[in-house]
Chain A
Amino acid sequence: MSATQETVSAGGARTARYFIYAALIILALVYLLPLYVMLSTSLKSLDEIRGGDMLAPPRDPSVAAWVRAWGEACIGVSCVGIKGYFWNSIKMVVPAVLISTLLGALNGYVLTKWRFPGHKLVFGMMLFACFIPFQAVLIPMARVLGTFGLSNSTAGLVLVHVIYGLGFTTLFFRNYYEAFPDELVKAAMIDGAGFFRIFWRILLPSSGPIIVVTIIYQFTNIWNDFLFGVSFSSGTSSPMTVALNNLVASSTGVKEYNVDMAAAVFAALPTLFVYVVAGRYFVRGLMAGAVKG
């Protein structure tokens, strides 16, 4: 409990308390509504959706739409569901997160414990890279991926996400290692430990929290990316977000709203799962992303 809370609310009247709770509960319901509608629609039949009320709970909940979305829904011309795209996203996100996190840790270590003239400029340039609108690199990246035969491949997307994630991961580790006592590093040097030994044996073992934050941040960002996915992949090589958009935007045949919503749930599940399991760190990661490390 912070001092602010105690002192400010000390004189709060009972009616004010009721108002506060009522306002918060109403707001919370509004924030939950889209998720509820998404979930309940995915569990309804098409007839029920067309005839019924969006807010009514499903009369006869069924996961039929989930099964269709996963294995049968038509994305473009192929009707094999979204499962392939889900795995594309997994295959993209895992290596991209691991590589960018490791590089970020090494960069942060150098930028705080092995400083050199101009380190501030180097860091500033890497930091600015976090904020550029990706539209400004889209065309050259498409050309380069094409030249190296990486267009429409998961490997190409991994490369892109590693490159444009480096700024963020470096920022996280740099801010974290800034607070790490130099004395420990100095002592290890006196004992004759070298650059890598100090990193593996001293810094990395105490980097747990920042590694978690970085992984969550990178995982969420890369999983949720759409722009790179839609620009550098096509057909069956697309990640999940692109497939979902293609599914929902397609105008051919009967619109299966329940299948659309089920696919959206699949696209949301991994990041929601991470958020539920590691919510605390998730917030911290977001804050670090806001240059508040």
Chain B
Amino acid sequence: MTTIEPVPALSPQGAPQRQGRTFADGVRNALPKIVLAPSFAVILVFVYGFILWTVYLSFTTSRILPVYKWGGFDAYFRLWSQPNWYVAMQNLAIFGVLYIGICIILGLGIAILMDQRIRAEGLLRPIFLYPMALSFVVTGTAWKWFLNPGLGLENTMHNLGWTSFKFDWLVNPKMAIYTVVIAGVWQASGFVMAMFLAGLRGIDGEIIKAAQIDGASTVSIYRRIIIPLLRPVFLSAFIVLAHMAIKSYDLVIALTGGGPGNATELPSTFMYSYTFTRNQMNVGSASAVMMLMGITAIIVPYLYSELRERKQ
């Protein structure tokens, strides 16, 4: 799926019928803008206006309800002195790195296997992809059951005769964040596979043929030629996954509820609990601003380059 070079747009001024500028013409010329205006206004207010509102709240003394009394950087100092916030940031780092890394490696691996003239591709592809259709709440619920220390995987292994098998990650504060990684990878890796598969199908076969004539092995063709050519796909996959990692909230809530204790706290769960249950709305807003800054740092350069590319 490549973007198609834009054709010069038809501006109302460029329209062929130009004889006489009447009032009707004026309305007709303005019509496209009138149609777009409500959507754009809504985005301006509900996205950009609300972001400013949240930023402002983070500089106030708001607790249970928004109050508009200036509090300076107090909320940010409080945020960064919370041990809980450090746990959230540390968990995001662990979750983000493993989730993005494993999804990309697994997705690329499966895509390469699927690209080997596989007979049942039409059957296999949907199997890897279906988790993406499920909500994080369903995903979390399913894995919570699957990893249930008493009745799930552990019990199954015991029944199979491996009685010393122990798998209590879900209730082990040191390991719980890794169960979030498992469920997250299961949910998203199929989609990454689809992206890589599309990328592989888009590669020019001539280059590979030439390399084969030179006697390169399949492995080295992949390592030296094909994988480097997939760079744009790596970038897209990274952007999508990084953005999902920062936003992910539902999965943690459904799988571990942020626990045991605060072991699986993420910035998203931190924001929610400080804003709505711990009555520290200004600290909650400050954490939301931090999340926004993280995503902006990833997305804006990407969108900028995407939109520029189309221009030339």
Contacts and interface: CB of A to CB of B under 8 A. Distances in A.
B110 interface: yes
Given A4-B200, A129-B47, A137-B51, A245 B253 contact: yes
Given A3-B208, A128-B299, A135-B272, A271 B134 contact: yes
Nearest to A274: B133
B134 A12 contact: no
A138 B36 contact: no
A31 B186 contact: yes
Interface string A103-123: 100110011111110011011
A264 B275 contact: no
A98 B82 CA distance: 44
Given A272-B130, A272-B133, A110 B116 contact: no
B116 A5 contact: yes
Interface string B197-233: 0101101111011001000001001100010000000
A155 interface: no
Interface in B1-40: 1, 3-4, 6-12, 15-17, 28, 31-33, 35-36, 38-40
A276 B125 CA distance: 12
A138 B10 contact: no
B57 interface: yes
A189 to B, nearest CB: 5
A186 B302 CA distance: 33
Given A35-B130, A139-B285, A27 B110 contact: yes
Contacts of B38: 103
Contact of B135 (A5, A192, A241): A241
A220 B133 contact: yes
Contact of B141 (A6, A264, A275, A293): A264
A283 B129 contact: yes
A11 interface: yes
A194 B97 CA distance: 52
Q: How would you classify the secondary structure of chain B's contact residues: helix, strand, loop or mixed?
A: helix
B250 to A, nearest CB: 4
B186 A34 contact: yes
Nearest to B247: A133
Contact of A290 (B195, B288, B292): B195
A291 B28 CA distance: 32
Contact of B7 (A126, A134, A182, A194): A182
Contact of A190 (B12, B16, B126): B16
B246 interface: yes
Contacts of B116: 5, 8-9, 12, 17, 20
B4 A178 contact: yes
A6 B133 contact: no
A227 B226 CA distance: 40
Contacts of A125: 40, 43-44, 48
A216 B239 CA distance: 22
Nearest to B131: A31
A292 interface: yes
A131 B293 CA distance: 12
B281 A132 contact: no
Given A129-B47, A133-B246, A195-B31, A264 B3 contact: no
Interface string A1-38: 11111111111100001001101100110011111011
A244 B17 contact: no
B32 A53 contact: no
Nearest to A163: B46
Interface in A76-117: 103, 106-107, 110-116
Interface of B: 1, 3-4, 6-12, 15-17, 28, 31-33, 35-36, 38-40, 42-44, 46-51, 53-54, 57, 66, 110, 113-118, 124, 126-139, 141-146, 151-153, 155-156, 159, 186, 190-191, 194-195, 198, 200-201, 203-206, 208-209, 212, 218, 221-222, 226, 236-237, 239-240, 243, 246-247, 249-250, 253-254, 257, 267-268, 271-272, 275-276, 281, 284-285, 287-289, 291-292, 295, 299-300, 302-304, 306-307, 311
Given A132-B51, A189-B16, 19 more contacts: A2-B200, A3-B203, A21-B118, A28-B124, A113-B10, A114-B10, A126-B39, A132-B295, A135-B249, A139-B281, A178-B4, A224-B138, A226-B137, A249-B257, A267-B137, A271-B134, A275-B129, A275-B133, A286-B194
5 contacts: A8-B226, A55-B156, A133-B246, A185-B10, A227-B250
